[in-house]
Structure 1
C-alpha cells in the first residue's frame, strides 16, 4: 500500500536541501537517510534521502543527486510516497495509521450517524478528520482525546462526543451569517436594500 508521507516545500540554502511538510507520525522511520520514496508526479522520482535534519522546527532533507538550489526548487510541491505493508501497525496501540482510519463510520455515543472519514489532515497543533456527512457536506472533527472517545477497527467506526456547535448545522449557519453581516459593518441594518 502506498501512503503520502510528506510534501516537499521550498529550497533551503544553496546545497540542495529542501523543507518538507511531514504527513506521517513516524518521520524517523519513513523519512530517514537511505529511504527510497516514490513521487507524485511520478517522473520526479524515485528519490533517495541522503541526509535529514531539523532546523528551526522544520525537517530539512537532501536527496541523492540534488546538489544545488535550482535542483531543490525543481522538486517543490512534490509528494513523497512510501510503500507500507497494509497489515503493519504502529507500536503504540493508541496510535493509528491514516489508512486504518479512512472510510470509518463516525457516530455519536448514542449511535447517531455523523458521516464517514474521507480525509485526515495533519496540522502542527492537531490532526483533523474530514468527515463526509450523509447529505454530502463535510465537517472537520479534531482528532483529540476529548472528542474522539473510541476507535473500533473491527466494527469500522469512530465514536465521538463533540462539543456544542461542532457538528450542529444550524450553529454553523448562524456563525456564517454573523460573519457576513460583520463584514458589512452593521449587524442591525436590514440586508439587500442598501439603506443604513
Structure 2
C-alpha cells in the first residue's frame, strides 16, 4: 500500500534543500536518510533522502542528485509516497494510520448512522475526520477521545458521542428549538 507522507515546499538555501509539509505521524521513520520514496508526479522520482534536519520548526530534506536551488525548486509541490505494509500498525494502541480510518462508517453511540470517513485533515491543534453524510453533505468531526469514543477496525466503524450542534442539521436544531418553546407552558406547580 502506498501512502502520501509529505509534500515538497519551496527550496531552502542554495545547496538543494527543500522544506516539506509532513503528512505522516512518523516522519523519523518515513522521511529518514536512505528512504526511497515514490513521487506524484511520477516523472520526478523516485527520490532517495540524503539528509534531513529541522530548521525553525520546519523539516528540511536534501535528496540524492539534487545539488542546487534550481533543481530543488523544480520539485516544489511534489508529493512523496512511501510503501507501507497494509498490516503494519502504529506502536501505540490508540494510534492509527490514515489509511486505516478512511472509509470507516461513523455511527452514534446508539448506532444511528452518521456517514463515512472520506478524509483525515491534520491541523496544528487536532486532527479532523471529514465525514460524508448519506445526503452527500460533509461534516467535520474532531478526532478527540471525548467525541470519538471507539475505533473498531474489525467492524470498520468509528463510534462518536458528539456535543449538541456538532452534527445536527440546522433544520433539526430549529425544529427542536421550536418544540421546546411550545412545550413550556410557563406554569409552575
What is the SS of the residue equivalent to 2:131? strand
Matched residue pairs, number?
174
2:155 and 2:30 map into 1 onto residues whose CA distance is: 29
**1:127–1:172 distance in 2 versus 1, CA, 3 Å:** farther
How well do the aligned residues superpose, as a CA RMSD in angstroms?
Answer: 1.6
4+ residue runs over 4 A deviation: 171-174
Runs of at least 5 residues in structure 1 that lack an aligned partner in the other structure = 175-196
Runs of at least 5 residues in structure 2 that lack an aligned partner in the other structure = 175-189
Give TM-score, length-normalised by structure 1.
Answer: 0.85
User: Which residue in 2 is equivalent to 1:24?
Assistant: 24
User: Which residue in 2 is equivalent to 1:194?
Assistant: none
Determine if contact 2:165/2:173 at 8 Å carries over to the other structure: no
1:36 and 1:129 map into 2 onto residues whose CA distance is: 29
1:157 and 1:128 map into 2 onto residues whose CA distance is: 16
Instruction: Please list, as runs of the form range in 1=range in 2, the aligned pairs for 1:154-169 lying within 5 A after superposition.
Output: 154-169=154-169
2:139 and 2:64 map into 1 onto residues whose CA distance is: 41
Deviation at residue 154 of structure 1 after TM alignment: 0.8
1:169 and 1:53 map into 2 onto residues whose CA distance is: 46
Determine if contact 1:165/1:172 at 8 Å carries over to the other structure: no
2:170 and 2:81 map into 1 onto residues whose CA distance is: 40
Give TM-score, length-normalised by structure 2.
Answer: 0.88
1:157 and 1:138 map into 2 onto residues whose CA distance is: 17
Instruction: Please list, as runs of the form range in 1=range in 2, the aligned pairs for 1:114-125 lying within 5 A after superposition.
Output: 114-125=114-125
1:172 and 1:23 map into 2 onto residues whose CA distance is: 36
